[in-house]
Amino acid sequence: MNSRVSELLAGLAPSATLAVDAKAKALKAAGEPVIGYGAGEPDFPTPLHIVEAAVKACYEPSNYKYTPTAGLADLRDAIVEKTKRDSGLSIAANQVLVTNGGKHAVATTFMTTLNPGDEVLIPAPYWTTYPEAVYLAGAVPVPVMTSEQDGFRVSVEELEKTRTPRTKLLVFVSPSNPTGAVVRPDDVAAIGRWAAEHDIWVMCDEIYEHLVYGDAESVSLPVVAPEIRDRFIVVNGVAKTYAMTGWRIGWMIGAPDVMNAAINYQSQTTSNISNISQRAAVAALTGDLEAVAMMRDAFDRRRKTMTSMLNAIDGVNCAEPEGAFYCYPNVQGLLGRPLGGKVASSSSELAEILLESIKIAVVPGEAFGTPGYFRLSYALGDDDLKEGLERLAGLVAAG
């Protein structure tokens, strides 16, 4: 009998992070005092000058029409300038494709570069979308384990152990979701050289480039490892930097031949991205980084609060993240012991117990390829952040 949905989509996992967030929001809407650590989105409003640019765009009739698939010329130019300003990478406008958010740029990258059977190295813990998007492109996701002791930073040694003749592409993300790990500039350069030496492409996900704290430094792989030549794709977007998750603007940067293929693909799937959102993104990218600095300071403060509150809980161990807005504590010490009358044998069971008994929503490590951990976003208000962790501490102390 024919199945009602395609075999490909029947085999696709839903996004665990979106699912946790949706559940938390639904419970909250139903009046439950839920505190959500699930979503990877800033709690701040989009800065006003960006919103005003969108309002203005609503009154401009040219925005009511189809526009070029690859993106508005103003936005592609702004991305060229912004890329030079922020990471030092020089590109031309024909190397840019504006996409429906960074996630769409990730999926388009895999669609554009992979053939069936190609292997893609994905450092674990990984953002839950990477392996599924590789699967959709018909290729094979291959996790590369990193260790908590090394701050979850991927190394050439581990990559080399996992490389095979079928390895086509490496996913490189720093700062990382879910761990907040930031790879040191020298190591980024070494990873880039290693990839170049073995003819491996690199997709560099730079969505958290502005969210680094303390002495950590985020660098762009093709800048510190020019040996990669034209076998890189940079993925980026406005969501995390400018508190614009709902506006859905991302982009992909690559060699012109690759970008032509990506633009063709987009021309047959989405056509242009919303002109109003594109106009807002132009304002974001051409404006200053003052609001970004303010948000980063708040995240930095919350990062420290969350890390120390987590580490004060018996059975929880959390390395201080250096970037993005997530803590990724080891919670193995909470498994197999009574918590609010229940006992969890896995981090995903534990996440369910926490939502039921103390109404806090976290994403279990199973979603990121490493059971025994949780991801908690600290992009939420300071009071909620503290209150939820006090609930957790209380639950653990009561046993």
User: In the complex, which residues of this chain contact ligand PLP (CB under 6 A)?
Assistant: 40, 101-103, 106, 127, 173, 177, 205, 207, 237, 239, 245, 250
CB of 23 to ligand PLP, least distance (A): 17
Q: Which is nearer to ligand PLP, 302 or 334 (CB)?
A: 302
Q: Which is nearer to ligand PLP, 76 or 103 (CB)?
A: 103
CB of 109 to ligand PLP, least distance (A): 11
CB of 135 to ligand PLP, least distance (A): 17
Q: Which is nearer to ligand PLP, 80 or 106 (CB)?
A: 106
Please answer whether residues 238 and 285 qualify as being in contact, where contact means their C-beta atoms are separated by less than 8 angstroms. yes
Compute CA distances 73 → 78, 125, 175, 234, whole Å. Answer: 8, 37, 29, 19
Q: Which is nearer to ligand PLP, 236 or 330 (CB)?
A: 236
Q: Which is nearer to ligand PLP, 90 or 270 (CB)?
A: 270
Distance CA 7, CA 394 (A): 46
Compute CA distances 200 → 165, 278, 322, whole Å. Answer: 10, 32, 27
CB of 208 to ligand PLP, least distance (A): 7
Strand 326-327 and strand 374-377: the pairing is antiparallel
Q: Identify which of 169, 106, 148, 142 has the alpha carbon closest to the alpha carbon of residue 329.
A: 148
C-alpha angle 136-196-103 in degrees, rounded to nearest 5: 30
Helix (H) or strand (E) holding 252: strand 250-253
Distance CA 125, CA 367 (A): 9
CB of 105 to ligand PLP, least distance (A): 8
Peptide bond into 116 cis (omega under 30): no
Q: Which is nearer to ligand PLP, 205 or 395 (CB)?
A: 205
CB of 174 to ligand PLP, least distance (A): 10
Q: Which is nearer to ligand PLP, 89 or 122 (CB)?
A: 122
CB of 379 to ligand PLP, least distance (A): 11
Q: Which is nearer to ligand PLP, 130 or 201 (CB)?
A: 130
**DSSP H helices in the chain:** 7-10, 16-29, 48-58, 73-87, 102-113, 129-136, 156-162, 185-197, 221-224, 256-269, 275-286, 290-311, 347-358, 382-398
Helix (H) or strand (E) holding 377: strand 374-377
CB of 258 to ligand PLP, least distance (A): 19
> Among all chains, which residue has been given the structure tokens 């949706």?
22
Q: Identify which of 73, 139, 149, 69 has the alpha carbon closest to the alpha carbon of residue 104.
A: 69
